């Protein structure tokens, strides 16, 4: 299963693609500080072209948690809307995971520190170095979906974990 | 000039299309309360198909103002991201206007009440009744762009209003 993980942001959007536990692509898309519609368009186009290039089967994104303030939340929300739309427009199902669920899946503890998550991503994907923060967050949610899907596949038929 | 006005929301997204001061299309797209990616996909697809059907030259959207809380702001932001992406994906320029600028353009007063804006939309577009709230807000930002563009066109060459 090839999974696209997204960590949308209005300044930097993290994108990670894995195939099982193999790293396919990771990047931190820098969006500058131009007009918002332009940045949203770039997220949409870049995510769309990576989908076309690497053909993931499914997409995963973190549900957004509380932001510092409403203005920041609106910017974050817009970036998220653009990234999710790129996946939906390409016909991908998009799965959402709470930040705690992502940490739980990667480190085994919902309250894990960022560094622990980054360390585990390096270990799980057998990388020589820790990926950049935004790319790491995108890979983390992709791995979360992989583990969740694997767990679901091991359950007896008819029993679905929510 | 044919203008697409957007009033994005995660429950209802208002869409209005005008050609000069003639109403072409107005609708309030109801998105239900299903999963967010599904709603975003619907905004993207519906706005995209209206663009294909009515071929506007340009799009206009309100900048989002302060929301009640960060969670609401994120939802609103996502809907906005999806709507703007649909326009950008169709190759349309997207212009943003602050809510006060929209009221100023329609009623002549930045602090105008919602009812005054709705009334003026009915008058300006020569409608027999007031359009539904979300559609009216979308028409308002489209009219704001029309008036702004007309004012800019009347200015001496080289002088651009910001």
Residue A161 included in any domain: no
Give per-residue burial for A19-55: e unless 16+ CB within 10 Å, then b. beeebbbbbbbebeeeebbebbbbbbebbbebbeeee
What is the full per-residue pLDDT of chain B (162 aa) written as tens digits? 999 999 999 999 999 999 999 999 999 999 999 988 999 999 999 999 999 999 999 999 988 766 667 778 888 899 999 999 999 989 999 999 998 999 999 998 888 888 899 999 999 999 998 888 889 999 999 999 999 888 777 766 545 444
User: Chain A within 8 Å of B36 (Cβ-Cβ)?
Assistant: yes
* Domain assignment of residue A162, yes or no: no
Is residue B84 domain-resident? yes
For residue B86, tell me if it sits in a domain.
yes
pLDDT category of residue A162 using cuts at 50, 70 and 90: very low
Partner-chain contact B77 A77, CB within 8 Å: yes
Does any domain span residue B159? Answer: no
Report which of residues A125 and A130 the model is more confident about.
A125
Report if residue B114 sits inside a domain: yes
Hey, what long-range contacts does B100-106 have (CB within 8 A, 24 or more apart)?
Answer: B101/B144, B101/B148, B102/B62, B102/B140, B102/B141, B102/B144, B103/B140, B105/B143, B105/B144, B105/B147, B105/B148, B106/B140, B106/B143, B106/B144, B106/B147
In a domain, A76, yes or no: yes
Q: Contacts of residue B64 in chain A, CB cutoff 8 Å?
A: 74
Measured CA to CA in angstroms, residue A80 lies from A86, B45, B74, B104, B106 at distances of: 10, 17, 9, 31, 32
Mutation site for A-interface testing, chosen from B4, B79, B85 by largest number of A Cβ within 10 Å: B85
Contact: B96, A35; criterion CB under 8 Å = yes
Q: In this predicted model, what pLDDT tens digit does every residue of A58-84 receive, in sequence order?
A: 999 988 766 667 778 888 899 999 999
Neighbours of B67 (CB within 10 A): 19
Residue A42 — very low, low, confident or very high, per pLDDT cuts 50/70/90?
Answer: very high
Active-site residue, B19 included: no
Q: Count other C-beta atoms under 10 Å from residue B114's C-beta.
A: 12
CATH code, domain carrying A95: 3.30.420.10
* Domains of chain A: total: 1
Helix, strand, or coil (residue A135): helix
CB of A110 within 8 Å of a chain B CB? The answer is no
Q: Is residue B160 part of a domain?
A: no
**Domain limits at A12?**
2-154
Query: Could you tell me the pTM of the whole model?
Result: 0.84
Nearest CA in chain A to B60: A37
Q: What is the C-alpha to C-alpha distance for residues B18 and B146, in angstroms, rounded to an integer?
A: 9
Question: Span A93-99, mean pLDDT?
Answer: 92
């Amino acid at each position: 299963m090839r999974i696209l993980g997204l960590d949308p942001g209005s300044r930097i959007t993290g994108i990670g693609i894995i195939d099982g536990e193999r790293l396919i692509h990771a990047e931190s898309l820098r969006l500058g500080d131009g007009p918002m519609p332009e940045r949203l368009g770039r997220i949409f186009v870049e995510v769309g072209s990576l989908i076309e290039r690497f053909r993931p089967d499914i997409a995963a994104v973190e549900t957004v948690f509380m932001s510092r303030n409403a203005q920041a939340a609106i910017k974050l929300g817009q970036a998220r809307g653009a990234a999710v739309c790129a996946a939906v427009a390409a016909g991908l199902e998009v799965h959402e995971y709470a930040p705690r669920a992502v940490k739980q899946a990667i480190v085994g503890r919902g309250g894990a520190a960022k560094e622990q998550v980054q360390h585990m991503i390096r270990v799980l994907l057998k990388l020589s170095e820790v990926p950049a923060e935004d790319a790491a967050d995108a890979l983390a949610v992709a791995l979360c979906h992989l583990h969740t899907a694997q767990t679901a596949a091991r359950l007896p038929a008819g029993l679905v974990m929510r």
